[in-house]
Structure 1
C-alpha cells in the first residue's frame, strides 16, 4: 500500500510544533493569548485537516507554520531544523487567491521560483508543467480578471505546487468557490496527491467544512477557542475515494460535529453562559433571518423540535460555516440546546416559533439583554448617559481590552444588528452613535 494510503505514526516528521503560543497586546496594554501550548506534528504521507470556530487561531497558526508570523512562545521545527522566517519547502494556498492582477497566469505561477533564484528557462518549463498539471493548459497568457473563481484558485494552487514543497498549507482554499467548483477542485487535488505527481509530502487544510475534512483528511485536528489549543484529534481510517453516504463516513461526520459543538470547543454554554457575560465575547457570525429560518425548520417535519446537525444542514441547504454560528447564536439566546451533535429546541424556542413575527422582536430583545453582556452594557451606558447617546468609538475602546481591533469591530457589528432587531437600542450609521429607541431620530437608523 502506498504511503499516502496509510500514513504511519513512524513516518518522518515534516513539521513539528512544540508548545507554540501567540499573544497580542490589547488597548489597555495587557497581553492576551491567541494560541497557547499548541503541540502538533505532521508526518510524511498524511493530509491533516484543522477545524475550529472563530477565535481558535487557525489562520494565525497556519501563518506561524508558513514562517509568515513568528511564535511568541514555543518552537516550530521544519525537517528537524528550527523554523525562522519562510522556508523553501513550505508553500501556501490562500482563500482569496492572492494573485497579482497585472501578471499573466504564467508569470503568477513563476513568482515563487523567481524568489528562489531559479533560472528563467527552468522557471518557464516548471511553471508550464504545473499549469498543465492543474488543468489550465492554454491559459498561460491570460490575466486573472479573465478567469473564473475556480480557475483563479487553480493558478494559486499551481503557484504553490511549482516549488515542489514538502508541506502544502491550504487556508480555506475552497470556501470562496461555489459548492460544485469547490468539490471538483478538492477531488482533483486528491487525485494529484494519490498519484504522487505533485511530489508533496504532507498537506494541512484549514477548513470550516466538516464533511470536507472527513472526505479529504487522514487526521482531523480540532482547536478550542480563546486561546486556541488542540483539544481533540480524530483519525479517519477510510481509504480514498470515500463514499459520503456510507454509514461509516456519516457516523464519523456525526462524531466530528459532536466535538465541534461540545462545551470544550465552543466555550461555556447555557445556562451558565459565563463567557458571554464579558463584553469581549466573540459573538457568532449569525444572521437573524437565518436563525429564525433554522428555528422554523427545526419545529417542522421531519424534526419536530430535535435534529441531527448534519441532517439539519442538508435540509436547510447550508454549509457548516453558515449553520454552526446560527445554531450557536440560538443556544446563546436560550432558543435551543446543542449536545452530542444534536440541536433541540427549548420551551422558549417553541414559544418563539409559535409567536407572531412582529412579537418575536420583544422576545429577542429580552433574551439579548439577559444573555449577551455587550448588548446589556451598551443599553446600560445609554440609560446612564445624559443625552441617551453613546459613540461607537467609546464601546470599541472598551472591547479592545479583550479583542484585537478588527475582531472588536466584527463583534460590535453583530451586536448592532441584533440590538436594532430586538429594539434594545438604535444606531446611526451616519454618525456612529447608539441611541435609546425612544429618542432615535426618524430615518437615521432605519429600524429593521
Structure 2
C-alpha cells in the first residue's frame, strides 16, 4: 500500500525561544522588559504582536531582527541562532527614518548599497520597488517634499527592495492620519494577497486591536511589565476583512477582553477547589505594579457622562463607533475609570458604578472631593506622593525624588509620563500642587 504524502508544514523563518530581556537603569537597577517569550513566524503568514505600553513589543521585534540580544533565551533564523543582525529580515519603522539629504531613490538604494550590490542593479531594483509601492514619478523627490503617507511608502520600498524572507514592522501606521493609514493597510493586504510583495512572512507590532484583526493570520497578545505572551489567537476570516461583520466585531471583543486581563481577574477570584493549596495572596499594589493610565480627569469624566447618557452601560465597540474613535483610543480611559472604581468591565462592555454615576452628576467641588478619595484609595502613585509629602517637614519634595523611585520599574520616558499623570490627578483632587519652576510637589493646604 502506497501512502500519498500530505502537504508539508510551512517552513519556520524566525523562532524565539524563552526570550527574556532586562535593561539596566542609570542607577544600576535591573529593568525587566520581556520574560520567557516563545513563538515562531512561518512562511505564508502575517503575525501581529499586540500589546499596551510596557509590553515590550518593540524590544521583542528588535530581538527578532538581531539588533539587540536577549538577556536569556535565543532567537533563530531558519534554525540558526542569531549572533548579530538577521540576514533575512527587513524593518519598517514608525518614524519613517529617511535621510533628508537623499532622494527617494537614493534612500531606497541605501540597504542595497550596504550589501555591496552594484550600482546599475541597485538602480533597477530600487525603481521596481518604488513602482510597486505607488511612488513612480517621485524618484528624484526629497523627503521634505513628501506627505507622511508617501514617506512611509518610501520606508516600505526600502525594506522590500532587499527581498527579505520576513518583513518586520514597528507600528508603521501609527504616525499617519486615519485615512492615510487605512489606505496603506489596504494596499499592504493587496500586495500580500496578490503575491506581489517579495516577502514570505510579515511580523507587525501594533497597539491597535482592529489593525491586528484586519491584517493578521495570528495575533499574539502580550501582557505588560514585563512583556510576556498572554494569549494566541487565529484569525480565520477571509481577506479583505469587513469591520462591520459580526465575526470581526466578536473577535475584536475577544481580543479586548484578553488585552485588559478581565479573564485573568475572573479566574483569580474563583473559589479554590476543596483540598487545593491555599492561593497566595497578591502583593499590595505599588506605583510600579499598578501604573496610571495616561489620561486626563476631564477625558475620563467625559467618557462617564457619555455612558450615563446611554443608560449607564454599553459595548466598547459601540462607543468607539459612535465617537468615531478607534477602540484602542478608549482603552486608557476605560482602564483609568476601572482603576478608580468609577466603572467596571466584562465581556467587552463597560458599566458605570454608583460612584461613577455620582462623579458624573456632581458639581465641580463635590466631584473633586470624590475623585480625591478614590485616587488615594486606588491609585498607588497618587497615594504615595500624598503620603510622602505629608510625612516631610515643609510638606514639599523635589520631583526628582519620585522620578528616581519610578525609574526602578519604568524607563526614564515612562517614569516622567507616570509623574505627569499623577501631578494632573493630584491637582484636580486638590491633594497637592506642583511648582514647575522649582520642580517641587507641595501638599495642598487642606490636605485634599
Q: TM-score, normalised by structure 2?
A: 0.91
**Aligned mate of 2:305, from 293, 296, 313:** 296
CA distance in 1, matches of 2:431, 2:361: 22
Cα drift, residue 26 of structure 1: 4.2
CA distance in 2, matches of 1:269, 1:108: 52
Q: How does 1:327-406 map to 2 (within 5 A)?
A: 327-406=334-413
SS at match of 2:238: coil
Deviations 1:347-369 (A, max 9, x none): 10111111123432221122111
Cα drift, residue 141 of structure 1: 1.2
SS at match of 2:117: coil
Cα drift, residue 87 of structure 1: 2.1
1:257/1:310 contact within 8 Å kept: no
Deviations 1:318-350 (A, max 9, x none): 223321011001111110112221111111011
Q: How does 1:47-66 map to 2 (within 5 A)?
A: 47-66=46-65
Cα drift, residue 279 of structure 1: 4.7
In the superposition, relative to structure 1, how do residues 109 and 265 fare at CA in structure 2: closer, same or farther (>3 Å)?
farther
1:146 maps onto 2:145 in alignment: yes
Give structure 2 stretches of 5+ with no counterpart. 1-6, 270-280
**Aligned mate of 1:281, from 278, 284, 290:** 290
Cα drift, residue 275 of structure 1: 6.6
Deviations 1:54-105 (A, max 9, x none): 1111111011111111101100001111112212311111111111111111
CA distance in 1, matches of 2:401, 2:113: 48
1:306/1:345 contact within 8 Å kept: yes
1:223 maps onto 2:222 in alignment: yes
CA distance in 2, matches of 1:229, 1:9: 30
Cα drift, residue 276 of structure 1: 4.1
How many pairs align? 430
CA distance in 2, matches of 1:65, 1:186: 23
Report the counterpart of residue 326 of structure 1 in structure 2. 333
In the superposition, relative to structure 1, how do residues 193 and 266 fare at CA in structure 2: closer, same or farther (>3 Å)?
farther
Cα drift, residue 277 of structure 1: 3.0
2:343/2:350 contact within 8 Å kept: yes
1:218/1:236 contact within 8 Å kept: yes
CA distance in 1, matches of 2:151, 2:319: 32
Ranges of 4+ aligned residues in structure 1 off by more than 6 Å: 264-270
2:45/2:201 contact within 8 Å kept: yes
Report the counterpart of residue 169 of structure 1 in structure 2. 168
Bigger drift between 367-376 and 254-263 goes to: 254-263
CA distance in 2, matches of 1:316, 1:15: 40
2:109/2:122 contact within 8 Å kept: yes
CA distance in 2, matches of 1:150, 1:108: 16
SS at match of 2:10: coil
Cα drift, residue 300 of structure 1: 1.2
